[in-house]
A = this chain, B = another copy of it.
């Protein structure tokens, strides 16, 4: 019995291959995490367990997909970055996005009990995530995307830290705290924290202030004096990369699998981070750290 009569329906599937030689950022976001954080009693303003669980799931995604060169997480969102030379799944958008979303979800659910041992999941209210792919044509713009997320992390964390301190330690109502914070700038919030509660925001946990940066660890390089040189490389490197053969790509993938995925809480806005870890922008594995 042949299936030919109905097979014409296959022709309705449309191609969704992403533009070659372009940075691919897959961003995932928790679905309805505002409600969810209430249901599972997440600690405000930052629940260490929830963030560690996010990071643990993201590390597994990085390990599963060696084509990823960096990831950045804050709150209930994570951004995963594929290098312009990436050919995974022929760069099909839906395939890339759903693989990341599903792998992340699987590990998040699986490891929930490790991070929330006394707060079991309550079906059908399970955590889930949506996602999308965005293209950035140059390293400069991809870095601006990452900077955007890290600045957002800072703005939100300073606000949330101040708000919840006013509520939790200052005994204010949510509405009163919200009203007082309306229209304030960073220095105002720093002052509220310091003068009223003796809290120096700079001493807050780096993870809360900077978010989490995931990358493969190789030997750090000394920052170059002519600091802008990196961008030049970037403008050309992808072209050659795109022509690497399948076997070369498999080799690169194996090398990347050998590197450890680290979770860091550092500034990724300034050049230093990228200059000391040139493998992220170049897509070429560095030297493994000596044992």
A contact set with B: CB distance below 8 Å: 1, 3, 5-17, 19-22, 28, 31, 60, 63-64, 84, 93-95, 97-99, 101-103, 105-111, 121, 123-124, 126-141, 144-145, 147-148, 151-152, 154-155, 185-186, 228, 231-232, 234-236, 238-239, 242-243
Contact = CB atoms under 8 A, between A and B. Distances in A.
Given A6-B151, A110-B126, A132 B235 contact: no
B129 A102 contact: yes
B19 A137 contact: yes
Copies per complex of this chain: 4
A103 B109 CA distance: 11
4 shortest interchain CB distances as A-B pairs:
A6-B148, A137-B137, A102-B128, A235-B235
Nearest to A107: B126
A6 B186 contact: no
5 contacts: A3-B148, A8-B242, A60-B123, A64-B124, A98-B130
A138 B21 contact: yes
A105 B144 CA distance: 32
Contacts of A130: 94-95, 98-99, 102
A19 B135 contact: yes
A127 B102 CA distance: 9
Contacts of A105: 101-102, 105-106, 109, 128
Nearest to A21: B137
Contact of A141 (B21, B123, B128, B231): B21
A134 B95 contact: no
A108 B110 CA distance: 10
Contacts of A5: 151
